[in-house]
Each structure stands twice: as structure tokens, then as C-alpha cells.
Amino acid sequence: MRALYTLTLLLLTPILLVRSARKYRGLHWGVRQRLGFNRPRIERPIWIHAASVGEVRAIAPIANDLIKQGSVLITTTTPTGRDQVVQLCPDTAHAFLPYDLPWAMGAWMRALKPRCLLLVETELWPNLIHAAKVHEIPAVLVNGRLSKRSARGYARMGSLARNMMASLDGCLVQSADHAKAFTRLGAHPVVIGNIKFDTQLPPSTLPSGRWIVAASTHPGEEAACLKAFTKLIQTETNLKLLIVPRHPERFDDVVSEAEKYGEVGRASRNQWASAIVVGDAMGQLSGWLNGAEVAFIGGTLNRRGSQSPIEAALGGAAIVAGPSRYNFAEAYALLASGSLVDVADEPELAGAWAEALIKGGDKNAGLISASRGATARTLAYLTSEILRS
């Protein structure tokens, strides 16, 4: 099964390269490293793989603590993830993870000789984990989670998934439900909690005003937000809308879409006077969410399973979310007793925002804060079980 997986990935590699070249046009996206070359010149690091922005932000406190025990290498698969490493973990090294081909992963293991391999959330790559096992490198999943959709996908992989899960030396997961899913696939999970609940938000960077922040939106959701805002400001005064697209390559397209509804500011140009602003500056979302009165969570109206609602909740915003939430089911279950407003589809969005403005988000921060502690528990496990030698 692993040989079939490798052959399939090898055949897809040219397509992946072309897609990345188009998606990240004008950006450094590490093409040589993605192909397994240009290995970082660092020996015996604690190797952490965090795919992109969300995973890097989650693991940053742990990475910065682990620096006390030696060098740390963080790999990502996206330029935005790399930017977060530079910003949040300046004392660590960064590289782009090669495609999951056995010869590339084996060469990196031999060259780096890592003390351990930490994989964040769902970054489970069969050849990477196999290479770690062959070279006797402990591999640990940190902040692990499996949505129902992901669990079904891994189950269809049969022995490939079971062997990969069994090869993990540690499987630290967010909840009992995730633990059950991993157990069914052959792993031996330990419930630690969600390290994202330990997030510390920076001070608000929004100008004064009543802000609705549409956070990490996907295609189609921006148009829905603009229509809802246009309707809402007919009855609500002094409202402003900040739309923050999930992917930076879409910034210009979202600005063009927003301009159909009037004057539009751009956060990257410090244009905050307009009623509608596009958040086209990377790494700023946390500060914006900390000043939001209402936050709409992207990925919930278009079946993407939701981006994280946790930072918005910690900032004290009332949360509005569509029905697609499988990536963060536990967080939404927690927020159900706080200030969470459900919206079934696009036509209901304006009404949901109006309800959220009345409701307020005071309860949300307390609900999330009460579930903190996973970061300390993860560090304790790594120190006692993985990094003893």
C-alpha cells in the first residue's frame, strides 16, 4: 500500500509543482526543498512540522520553549506558514517540507539526525513517519485531531493508515472523541487538550468603532458578507466590516468584489476610514479579532469545515458561524453555552449579525480560558517521555 501511495504521489508531483507555482506566483515557496534538495544545515534539531498559519500559531509557544533544550527546525508547506515562523519563532530554523517521497524523507532524516519529529494536528505523512521509524527517530503527533471526514478518509487507506498510526511513538489529541477516532485507526492516543485554547492574543489593532470581522473567508463567503452588511447598515449605525480572506493570493479579487458595494479601504495601506475594509496584511488577524464586536468565521458557509473560532472567542467577540464546523466541533460545542449565533445559509446572515450585536460576546473568552492548560501538559509529556536522552 505504501508503494502504491508513493507511485501515485510521484505521478502527481508535476501537477503539484505547477499548481504551487501558479498559487504562489511572486513568492518564495521553496521549490528545491519541496523536491528534497537544499536541506537545512542544522544537526540534531527537534523537528516540528506545522503545515501553515494555523498550525504554526498553535505550536509557537511550544517551539519557543523547546529552544531551551536545543536547536529547533520548523517545516511548513506554505509561504504564509514560513512568514509566521519568522514572526513568532525567530530563534528557530525554517525549511519547506519535501513532498512525501521516501528518498527525500530518508535523505533529510540522515542529514538532519533529528532528536524527534513532532507533527501538528493532522500532518500525518506515511513516508515521513516511516523514515522516522527506520532511522529510530521518535515521531509524535501533537494537538492531534480527526474530523469525521478525515477519519473516513484514513479508514479507506486500510493498512497504509494503520501502519502509519501504529508507528507513532506518541499521539497527543485534543479530546476524547478524537481519541476514539485515532484508536479505531490503530494509534494509541493520550488526551491532552487543545493547545489553541492557550493562545495569547496581542492587543487590539483595530481603530475605534463597531467592527464586524469576517475572519478567514473562502470564495463565495465574501459576497455573502458584503450583501449582509449592506442590508444591516440600513438599521444599524456606525458599523464597519473588515473582510479577511483566508488566502493572500485572493486579496485583490476580494477588493474588486467589495468595490461593487462602495468605497473600500485596504489594511495594508492603513486605509481604515471606509465602512468596508479588506484585511490584506498577513499576521494581523489576531489583533483585529481582539477588537471585533462580532466575528463571522470563514469556511462555515461553504462546507470547508470552519476556520478556528477560538481567537475570536478569546477576544470577546460574539461568534456567527454557518453549519459546516467539523474541523472545530469541540470548540463550537463549548461556545454553544456562550455567545454563538447559528446561521443556516447566506440569506440569514444579516439577521444573525443583528442578533449577535445584541447578544454580545462577553461569555466566550471565559469559556475558552477555562479549558486552558494543554500547552503545559504537552511540554511535560515531551520532556519526560521523548526528550529524556
Cβ atoms < 10 Å from Cβ of 260: 10
Residue indicated by cell numbers 509557537: 60
Beta-sheet strands, E only, within 264-361: 264-266, 276-278, 294-297, 318-321, 340-342
What residues are paired with 245 via a beta bridge? 217
As a whole number of angstroms, the distance between CA 13 and CA 36 comes to 12
Give the amino acid at 261: Y
End-to-end CA distance of the chain: 34
Residue 269, Cβ density class (10 Å: 0-12 exposed, 13-18 middle, ≥19 buried): exposed
Angle between helices 374-381 and 53-66 (to 10 degrees): 60
Residue indicated by cell numbers 470577546: 316
Q: Among the options 55, 221, 222, 293, which is catalytic?
A: 55
Q: Is the separation of the CB atoms in 74 and 101 below 8 Å? A: no
As a whole number of angstroms, the distance between CA 6 and CA 189 comes to 26
348 labelled catalytic? no
Per-residue DSSP letters for 154-191?
HHHTTHHHHHHHHT-SEEEESSHHHHHHHHHTT---EE
Q: Is the separation of the CB atoms in 332 and 325 below 8 Å? A: yes
Which residues does the annotation mark as catalytic? Answer: 55
